[in-house]
Amino acid sequence: MYFISTRGNEKVTAAQAIVQGLAKDGGLFVPERFPQVTKEELDAMIPMSYAERACFVLSKYLEEYDKAGLLAACEKAYSKFEGKDAAPLVRLDEGVYMLELFHGPTCAFKDMALTLLPYLLRAGSDMLGVKEQILILVATSGDTGKAALEGFRDAEGIKIMVFYPDDGVSKMQKLQMCTQEGGNVNVVAVKGNFDDCQTAVKKIFASEECKAQLKEKNTILSSANSINFGRLAPQIAYYFSAYLDLLSSDQIQPGEEVNFTVPTGNFGNILAAYYAKRMGLPVGKLVCASNRNNVLTDFIRSGKYKTEGRAFHKTMSPSMDILISSNLERLVFELSGRNAALTAERMRDLSQKGCYEISEEERQAMQKEFFAGYATEDQTVECIYDLFTEIGYPMDTHTGVAMSVARDYFEKEKDDKRNMVIVSTASPYKFPQDVLYALTGNDVKDSFKGVKRINALTAMAIPASLAGLRDKPVRFRKSVPVADAFKEVLKFLE
């Protein structure tokens, strides 16, 4: 299996795509074809563990990776999760389920991929004979940063540096990153929002001057953001796993379609569901849930992607506070009939003019696959409160957005009787102040008081990784202008 750029003629192996991260022309790597999973293969996956299911799905794309080594890596990665199942499916109501993706080391869905990515990168580097030190550069809106730092902590031959928006993550997310252990890690705040962080990192990747300076330090770049296919691929697996869990518990019949609602900002999580569908998984509608930064909602409804003149909102679901959704480029590439020149033109228009528009035919094709909606802050709070009051199930703020949009879908599409799986992306304890406010109407200034009060109210176990945060020393306090990002990279490598 080879991988091609969304913007040009570059064609690479899976190992090259993962080690390189971003195509040389600035495009994203996509598989040259979507491997298919047959009904017989789905049946064979039912009794498998989550690690075995993940290995099976990944091996469809990563053909040159040793399958035994890949399975061992999956088993090692998912053994770090609390409980026997890395991605449990919880029944909420008749035909409505919650896919819990927050049982990993950092209590967010990014763990599903970032516990495995270090192996994919190391094995890929070995296959390619890479001798240089690898520098992982990450822009984060909150969860990717911590998950990547933890995944690559003290990894041999690898350094990792994370940029986050100075005032754009929750207090718990910031504390998770700034107390990170490891001799090969660095965390720097950027005076701006997530889009500023992401743009700064992309510019470094695209700059030949930056690459030349890094080469002098015997260092090459790679990425742990979902622009890297090695980050995206493991996420495909949990959609298969959720479907298989519904099958094994007789909630659905073989071949029956299932809908998914996914809270998304950078479009990677829901794109993984789309890829699963392209592989043959019986997926019905993909419901794209946004917060007030609803650029994706507008795009899916209108076919026009516009950031120019759009206000950026800081919300209680900060991991979705994004206006430039990088992974959308992969979907736009597919909608265009895999027209790399047209995709490159559209991405240039977005960069230079702040907008682009797809054709009416493409828009209609997109709307057959996707439904889009968004939730305001008040709607998110109301939904978190309602679900807990009704069935005693606590949600984080991002999952609250998803549930609110799912309820909107149920109301508007009453004839759609397919089962709905809502993707829960983080533990409520990662956003304790906002969750406590949603549940009780009470404000607390201290995150750890919020954790204790949520625990007393819900009896939901506090993840060990969050419980011990209060006593960890803060290692990283630096905040810099966006323009100084690469200077900080060079300082880190000194």
Positions marked catalytic: 110
DSSP state of 473: P
Q: Which amino acid is at 273?
A: A
Q: Packing angle between helix 485-492 and helix 208-216, nearest 10 degrees? A: 10
Alpha helices in 48-168 (DSSP H): 50-61, 67-78, 111-114, 117-128, 143-152
Q: Parallel, antiparallel, or unpaired for β 133-139 and 158-165? A: parallel
Q: Parallel, antiparallel, or unpaired for β 29-31 and 2-5? A: antiparallel
Burial class (CB in 10 A: 0-12, 13-18, 19+), 416: middle
**CA–CA distance, 383 with 152 (Å, rounded to integer):** 36
DSSP state of 218: T
- Kind and range of the H or E run holding 133: strand 133-139
User: Pick from 462, 141, 219, 159: which is nearest to 149 by CA?
Assistant: 159
Q: How many CB atoms lie within 10 A of CB 37?
A: 18
Instruction: Decide: 50 and 249 in contact? Cβ < 8 Å.
Output: no
Q: 13 forms bridges with which residues in the sheet?
A: 2
DSSP state of 357: E
Q: Parallel, antiparallel, or unpaired for β 419-424 and 370-374? A: unpaired
Name the token pair of 436.
């406590």
Name the token pair of 348.
């240039």
Report the SS3 class of residue 223.
strand
Sequence-distant (6+) residues with CB within 8 A of 69 are 119, 123
Q: 308 forms bridges with which residues in the sheet?
A: none
User: Pick from 62, 103, 68: which is nearest to 85 by CA?
Assistant: 103
CB hemisphere CA count around 272 (13 angstroms): 31
User: Pick from 157, 190, 159: which is nearest to 174 by CA?
Assistant: 190
* Cα–Cα–Cα angle for 222, 228, 233, rounded to 5 degrees: 135
